[in-house]
Structures are given as C-alpha cells and as structure tokens.
C-alpha cells in the first residue's frame, strides 16, 4: 500500500510540474509560436519513439545494446526512397535477399539434429569455420557479374530524367534469366551454411525440441515461396509500381521498408547475435562493426550525398486545408490548426508514432505473445522450462525492433535529408529516450520520446528567440536526461534493481 501511495504521489508531482511548465511556455511564447513548436516537438517525439521503442524492447527482453539500431533507421529510409523513386534496385536484389534469408531460417530445423552429433573437440571447432568459409564463397559466386552499383543508380537517374508522361524512362533491364536462375540457389546455400555454422554442430546446449519439424519449416517454406514470386515478378513489378498512384506507391514503400527491417533483423539476430549471448561485450563490438560496415556499403551504393524523397500526392498539393476533411479530399501540403499553418506530412508522422504505440500496447497487454515476452523479461529460464522456445521469441523481438526503426526511417524520408549518417543522431536520441523512460519500459520510451521531442523543439525556439548558440538547443535533450536521472536514477518508468 505504501509503495502504491508513493507511486501515486510521484505521478501527481510530475503531472503538476508538467502543467506548470506547459502553462509557463504558453504564456511566454504566445499562442501561435506555442502551437507550432508543440506540433514540431510531437513530430520529433514520434520519430524518437520509433527508434527508442525497438531499442527498449530489445534491451528489456534480451539485455542487448544494439549500436547498429540507428543504421537500421537509415536503411529503412533508403529502402523506402529507392522503391518509391524507382524500384528496379529493390526487385533486382529481392530474390537474393529472400533466398539468403530462407537458408538462415533453416537454423531452427537443423540445429536439434546437429547438436546431437558426436564429434571430436577438434571438429567441433573446425566445422563452424568451414561453414562460414563456404557461405562466403557461395555468396561471392552468387553476386559475381552483377552490377549492383548500376542498379542502385536507378533511383537518382529516375528522379532527374523521368517525366510524368514517361515515368518508365530509365528502368534498367534485369539480368537475363539464363544468367540469373542459379544465383538465388547459391545465396540459399550461403544462408544455409551460416545456419549450419551458427548451430555449432556437436555442442549440446539447451534447446526447445517440442515443436515438430513441419512447424519449424513453416517460415523457410514461406520465404521460399516469396523467393519464387520475386523471381517471377522481378521484371514486371517495377513498371507496375511506377505506374501506380503516388499514395499507393508510398504505402507499398512503407510496407517493404518494414518487411525488409523485420527480415534483416531476424537474420542479424540468428547469424550474428545469437552465438554471442554469453559474451555481452562482443555483441557491443559486433553491432558497432555492423553499423560501420553498413554505413560504408550505403556510401558505396549511393555515394555520401543527401537525397530528398518526394512527398506523396496526399501531402504535396499547393494550398492550405481548413480542416482534416478538406486535406484528405484535396491533398494539401499544409493545414490550419488553430490559426497556425502546419505541414500535413508532419501530422502524419505524429499519427504514425501514435499508431506504433497503440500497436505495442495491444501486443504486450492483449496477446499471448506479449505475455510470453513480458514473462521472458522476468525469468527466461522458467519460460524455457515451460516448453516455449525463448530463442525464437528473442528473434521475433529483435526483428520487430529493427522493423520499427525502419518504419521511422521511411517515415522521416519525405522531410529529412536521406544520407548515410542520418541514423546516428536518432540512435543517440533513442538511447537517451530509453534512459529517461526506464530500461525495458515501452510506456517510458513513449513518454520519454515526447519529453525529448518537446525539449528539442522548444530549445530550438528559445535559441532562435534569444539569439543563443544552436549548440545549446542540441544539448537540451542531454540536460533533460541529467535532470531526470538526478531525481529518479532508474528512469521515469524504470524499476529499481
């Protein structure tokens, strides 16, 4: 009772402080600047939350600090921008990505059998190295002869050359089928060899064996079917998407970015993080290295330049809408909100953050999977003892966190420059958000993101109004973190260890 009473008092104090701060800002800034700055803060807060939500889920369940999370945010922006502008690159590589992922996802099916092998210690050490070497060889042969840089150039060429009358002006032809058909097979073998190596043949570990083989093959079989479809439509799909209405094309871009983030996250967890769970520091080094490697790869493909994604028609038409219905009907670029002109696309970003928070809340509180995740946070050994494959839950959570970051990236694309280092700033803000909200609390991540977004927006406002250095505004988020940690070291919604 005393704990609940203290908690209620703490919440009441924070509510009173918040009301006083908001009222003071409103009286000082005035109506229009206050509304405009508040909406800008909510926009930033939504983006911060889309990064921090994945971080807090991953750390809360897996105790994994993913220093490549901002890179996933950046990849989501690039994938969405590339597909929206010219999807030739995406569909050119999609069969390879899906085939490789199919091989990786064979881990759950083959590991129970591989760990039963009775091998000498020497072979237990050698076989994983052989597996990784064969994976590299198969991937190298699979990609040999493909001009990936030319495929990546299609988005820039299309943006500068293609016209409304001829949107297909610069679609590059795909590799002829006789030179293509065997490559997805090699990529599947590459992924399979990694699955073999990461399974550590001969090393007996605790592993849930209650699922039958058919159930374990559902995901690989599904990915195999998608691979076949991707091979069939790789030439026709880019034309079909470019001829679509821009709003539908943007929606597909978001779905593809999220799907790519989810699949990429699952592959990273299985192939790179799962073998290192007992070496936490190695995971930090691995994710840092992965971040650098991906950033360099992106700069190689698209050059270290900043690109601007065109806003979809729903947010691009000239004029100011008087209300939401008029905006939805005319697709105006701005809308009137209590006498303040505000970009409609930024309202969409705010809505996107709210939708994500609602989704996570429902997932964690209203589903069996959410119950398993919450139980896994508290006692993973007990959950494993109940016959639940915690490793599979770990994979799902990590993939979901990366998918959220990718969604944030494509959401930010139409109003932020798309460039290789765009994820670094958001990753830092994501970590600060998690610390403020409390490690492992998605509600804390949401509240912390809104606080940080508002702090940064009003920091920019006061820096401009008072002619202060922009560095002060940039430091506002760190100042907020320091204040919160001095008052409540475990974060707003964190629990004492």
Output the furthest CA–CA distance in the chain (Å, rounded): 76
Q: What is the pLDDT of residue 215?
A: 77
For the stretch 149-166, pLDDT in tens is 777 777 655 544 444 444
In a domain, 208, yes or no: yes
DSSP state, 492?
S
Judged on CB neighbours under 10 Å (0-12, 13-18, 19+), 489 is exposed
pLDDT of residue 175: 65
Please answer whether residues 421 and 295 qualify as being in contact, where contact means their C-beta atoms are separated by less than 8 angstroms. yes
Query: For residues 50 and 261, what is the distance between their CA atoms, to the nearest angstrom?
Result: 13
Question: Which domain range does residue 452 map to?
Answer: 29-163+170-314+340-487
**Which residues, including other chains, have CB under 8 Å from residue 72's CB and lie 6 or more apart?**
54, 261, 264, 265, 402, 405, 406, 409, 423
Confidence (pLDDT) at 6: 62
pLDDT attached to residue 253: 92
Cβ neighbours of residue 120 closer than 8 Å, sequence gap 6 or more: none
The answer to whether residue 17 is domain-embedded is no
Give the separation between CA 194 and CA 125, rounded to whole angstroms: 15
Look at residue 159 in the predicted model and tell me its pLDDT: 46
Considering only CA atoms, which of 144, 51, 83 is closest in space to residue 432?
51
Which residues, 6 or more positions from 352, have their beta carbon under 8 angstroms from its beta carbon?
46, 50, 407, 411
**Nearest Cα to Cα of residue 105 among 229, 264, 294:** 264
User: Has residue 309 been placed in a domain?
Assistant: yes
- The ranges of the chain with pLDDT < 70 are 1-8, 10-11, 14, 155-179, 204-211, 377-378, 380, 496-497
User: How far is Cα 349 from Cα 39, in angstroms, rounded to an integer?
Assistant: 11
In a domain, residue 153? The reply is: yes
Domain contains 441 = yes
Does residue 310 belong to any structural domain of this protein? yes
Pairing label, strands 340-343, 332-337 = antiparallel
Residue 325 lies in a domain: no
Write out pLDDT tens, residues 264-313. Answer: 999 999 888 888 877 878 888 899 999 999 999 999 888 888 888 888 99
User: What global pTM score does this model have?
Assistant: 0.88
- What are the DSSP calls for 121-187, one per residue? HHHHHHHHHHHHHHHHHHHHHHHTT--HHHHHTHHHHHHHH--SS-TTTTPPPPPPGGGTTTHHHHH
Tokens representing 2 are 């005393």
Structure tokens at 32: 């229009």
Nearest CA to 128 out of 207, 205, 204, 199 is that of 199
Give how many domains the chain has, as a whole number.
Answer: 1
CA 403-404-410 angle, 5° bins: 90
User: Residue 211 falls within a domain, yes or no?
Assistant: yes
* pLDDT for position 345: 92
Please tell me the distance from the alpha carbon of residue 123 to that of residue 357, in angstroms, as a whole number.
48
Contact of 131 with 111, CB cutoff 8 Å: no
CA dist 474 and 392 (Å) reads 39
């Amino acid at each position: 009772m005393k704990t609940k009473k203290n908690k209620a008092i703490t919440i009441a104090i924070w509510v009173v402080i918040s009301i006083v701060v908001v009222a003071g800002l409103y009286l000082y800034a005035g109506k229009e600047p206050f509304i405009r700055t508040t909406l800008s803060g909510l926009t930033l807060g939504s983006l911060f939350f889309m990064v921090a939500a994945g971080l807090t889920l991953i750390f809360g369940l897996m105790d994994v600090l993913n220093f490549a999370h901002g890179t996933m945010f950046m990849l989501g922006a690039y994938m969405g921008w590339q597909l929206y502008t010219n999807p030739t690159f995406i569909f050119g590589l999609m069969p390879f990505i899906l085939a490789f992922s199919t091989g990786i996802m064979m881990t759950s099916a083959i590991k129970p059998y591989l760990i039963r092998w009775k091998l000498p210690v020497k072979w237990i050490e050698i076989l994983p190295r052989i597996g990784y070497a064969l994976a590299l060889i198969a991937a190298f042969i699979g990609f040999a002869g493909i001009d990936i840089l030319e495929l990546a150039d299609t988005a820039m060429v299309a943006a500068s050359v293609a016209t409304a009358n001829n949107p297909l002006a610069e679609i590059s032809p795909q590799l002829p089928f006789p030179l293509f058909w065997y490559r997805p097979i090699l990529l599947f073998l590459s992924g399979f060899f990694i699955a073999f190596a990461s399974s550590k043949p001969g090393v007996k570990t605790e592993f849930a064996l209650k699922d039958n083989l058919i159930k374990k093959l559902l995901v690989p079989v599904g990915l195999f079917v998608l691979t076949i479809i991707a091979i069939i439509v790789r030439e026709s799909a880019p034309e079909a998407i470019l001829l679509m209405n821009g709003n539908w094309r943007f929606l597909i871009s978001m779905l593809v970015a999220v799907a790519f983030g989810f699949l990429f996250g699952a592959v990273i967890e299985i192939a790179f993080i799962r073998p290192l769970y007992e070496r936490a520091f190695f995971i930090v080094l691995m994710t840092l290295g992965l971040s650098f490697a991906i950033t360099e790869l992106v700069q190689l493909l698209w050059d270290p330049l900043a690109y601007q994604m065109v806003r979809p028609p729903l947010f691009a038409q000239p004029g100011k809408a008087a209300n939401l219905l008029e905006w939805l009907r005319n697709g105006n670029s701005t809308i009137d909100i209590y006498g303040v002109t505000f970009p409609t696309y930024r309202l969409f970003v705010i809505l996107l953050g709210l939708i994500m928070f609602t989704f996570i809340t429902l997932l964690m509180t209203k589903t069996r999977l959410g119950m398993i995740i919450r139980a896994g946070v508290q006692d993973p050994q007990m959950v494993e003892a109940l016959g639940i494959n915690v490793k599979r839950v770990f994979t799902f959570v990590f993939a979901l966190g990366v998918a959220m970051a990718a969604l944030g990236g494509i959401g930010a694309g139409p109003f932020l420059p798309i460039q290789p280092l765009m994820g670094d700033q958001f990753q830092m803000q994501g970590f600060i958000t998690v610390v403020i909200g409390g490690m492992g609390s998605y509600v804390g991540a949401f509240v912390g993101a809104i606080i940080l977004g508002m702090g940064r927006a009003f920091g920019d406002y006061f820096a401009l109004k008072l002619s202060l250095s922009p560095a002060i505004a940039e430091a506002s988020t760190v100042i907020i973190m320091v204040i919160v940690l001095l008052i409540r070291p475990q974060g707003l919604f964190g629990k004492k260890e």
